[in-house]
Amino acid sequence: MEKKVEVSMLCQLYGSLLTAKQFEFIDDYYNNDLSLSEIAENNEITRQAVRDIIKKGEKKLFEYEEKLGFMKRTLNQEKRIEKALYELTKIQKNYSDKQIASVLESIKKELNCLV
Protein backbone atom coordinates (compact mmCIF):
# COMPACT_ATOMS: atom_id res chain seq x y z
CA MET A 1 0.00 0.00 0.00
CA GLU A 2 1.27 3.49 -0.83
CA LYS A 3 2.60 5.34 2.23
CA LYS A 4 0.39 8.37 1.60
CA VAL A 5 -2.76 6.25 1.62
CA GLU A 6 -1.59 4.24 4.61
CA VAL A 7 -0.77 7.30 6.72
CA SER A 8 -4.07 8.92 5.73
CA MET A 9 -6.00 5.81 6.84
CA LEU A 10 -4.03 5.54 10.07
CA CYS A 11 -4.74 9.21 10.75
CA GLN A 12 -8.47 8.55 10.38
CA LEU A 13 -8.26 5.67 12.83
CA TYR A 14 -5.83 7.02 15.41
CA GLY A 15 -5.66 10.76 14.71
CA SER A 16 -7.46 11.67 17.91
CA LEU A 17 -4.57 10.09 19.84
CA LEU A 18 -2.06 12.52 18.35
CA THR A 19 -1.37 16.02 19.58
CA ALA A 20 -3.45 18.71 17.93
CA LYS A 21 -0.43 19.99 15.95
CA GLN A 22 0.61 16.50 14.82
CA PHE A 23 -2.91 15.79 13.59
CA GLU A 24 -3.24 19.19 11.90
CA PHE A 25 0.12 18.95 10.12
CA ILE A 26 -0.34 15.33 9.02
CA ASP A 27 -3.84 16.14 7.79
CA ASP A 28 -2.56 19.17 5.87
CA TYR A 29 0.37 17.28 4.40
CA TYR A 30 -1.32 14.00 3.45
CA ASN A 31 -4.98 14.90 2.97
CA ASN A 32 -4.91 18.57 1.95
CA ASP A 33 -1.76 18.17 -0.16
CA LEU A 34 0.07 21.13 1.39
CA SER A 35 3.86 21.21 1.19
CA LEU A 36 6.09 21.40 4.25
CA SER A 37 6.90 25.01 3.29
CA GLU A 38 3.22 25.95 3.04
CA ILE A 39 2.45 24.41 6.43
CA ALA A 40 5.48 26.17 7.93
CA GLU A 41 4.42 29.50 6.49
CA ASN A 42 0.83 29.10 7.71
CA ASN A 43 2.05 28.33 11.22
CA GLU A 44 4.99 30.72 11.28
CA ILE A 45 7.55 28.02 12.06
CA THR A 46 10.42 26.48 10.14
CA ARG A 47 10.02 23.82 7.48
CA GLN A 48 12.27 21.55 9.56
CA ALA A 49 9.99 21.93 12.60
CA VAL A 50 6.99 20.92 10.48
CA ARG A 51 8.88 17.89 9.17
CA ASP A 52 9.88 16.83 12.70
CA ILE A 53 6.30 17.13 13.96
CA ILE A 54 4.98 15.11 11.02
CA LYS A 55 7.65 12.41 11.42
CA LYS A 56 6.89 12.05 15.16
CA GLY A 57 3.18 11.84 14.40
CA GLU A 58 3.74 9.21 11.70
CA LYS A 59 5.85 7.18 14.10
CA LYS A 60 3.06 7.27 16.69
CA LEU A 61 0.45 6.24 14.10
CA PHE A 62 2.50 3.22 13.02
CA GLU A 63 3.12 2.27 16.67
CA TYR A 64 -0.62 2.40 17.42
CA GLU A 65 -1.35 0.22 14.40
CA GLU A 66 1.35 -2.25 15.38
CA LYS A 67 -0.13 -2.59 18.87
CA LEU A 68 -3.85 -2.37 18.05
CA GLY A 69 -4.08 -3.58 14.46
CA PHE A 70 -7.41 -1.92 13.60
CA MET A 71 -6.46 -1.07 10.02
CA LYS A 72 -5.20 -4.59 9.31
CA ARG A 73 -8.38 -6.13 10.73
CA THR A 74 -10.57 -3.69 8.82
CA LEU A 75 -8.84 -4.43 5.51
CA ASN A 76 -9.06 -8.19 6.14
CA GLN A 77 -12.75 -7.88 6.99
CA GLU A 78 -13.39 -5.94 3.78
CA LYS A 79 -11.62 -8.63 1.73
CA ARG A 80 -13.70 -11.37 3.36
CA ILE A 81 -16.93 -9.46 2.75
CA GLU A 82 -16.01 -8.88 -0.90
CA LYS A 83 -15.31 -12.59 -1.29
CA ALA A 84 -18.66 -13.48 0.29
CA LEU A 85 -20.43 -11.03 -2.03
CA TYR A 86 -18.70 -12.60 -5.03
CA GLU A 87 -19.78 -16.10 -3.94
CA LEU A 88 -23.36 -14.94 -3.33
CA THR A 89 -23.50 -13.41 -6.79
CA LYS A 90 -22.27 -16.68 -8.33
CA ILE A 91 -25.00 -18.63 -6.50
CA GLN A 92 -27.63 -16.08 -7.44
CA LYS A 93 -26.71 -16.31 -11.14
CA ASN A 94 -26.63 -20.12 -11.20
CA TYR A 95 -29.94 -20.82 -9.42
CA SER A 96 -33.29 -19.57 -10.61
CA ASP A 97 -35.41 -20.17 -7.48
CA LYS A 98 -36.99 -16.78 -6.71
CA GLN A 99 -37.03 -17.39 -2.96
CA ILE A 100 -33.30 -18.17 -2.91
CA ALA A 101 -32.60 -15.15 -5.10
CA SER A 102 -34.57 -12.93 -2.73
CA VAL A 103 -32.71 -14.18 0.35
CA LEU A 104 -29.36 -13.83 -1.39
CA GLU A 105 -30.18 -10.28 -2.47
CA SER A 106 -31.08 -9.40 1.12
CA ILE A 107 -27.77 -10.83 2.37
CA LYS A 108 -25.85 -8.96 -0.33
CA LYS A 109 -27.47 -5.66 0.70
CA GLU A 110 -26.48 -6.22 4.33
CA LEU A 111 -22.89 -7.06 3.37
CA ASN A 112 -22.64 -4.08 1.04
CA CYS A 113 -23.49 -1.83 3.98
CA LEU A 114 -20.40 -3.16 5.78
CA VAL A 115 -17.97 -2.40 2.94
Element (H, E) at 21: helix 20-26
At 105, is the pLDDT very low, low, confident or very high (cuts 50, 70, 90)?
A: confident
pLDDT given at position 14: 95
d(CA 52, CA 60): 12
At 111, is the pLDDT very low, low, confident or very high (cuts 50, 70, 90)?
A: confident
Q: pTM of the entire structure? A: 0.71
Exposed/middle/buried for residue 70 (C-beta within 10 Å: 0-12, 13-18, 19+):
middle
Q: Is the pLDDT of residue 114 over 80?
A: no
Q: Is the pLDDT of residue 115 over 70?
A: no
pLDDT, tens digit, 9 for 90 and up, residues 30-89 = 999 999 999 999 999 999 999 999 999 999 999 999 999 989 888 888 888 888 888 877
pLDDT given at position 110: 79
Q: Determine the topology of domain 3-68 in CATH.
A: Arc Repressor Mutant, subunit A (1.10.10)
**Domain extents for the chain?**
3-68, 74-114
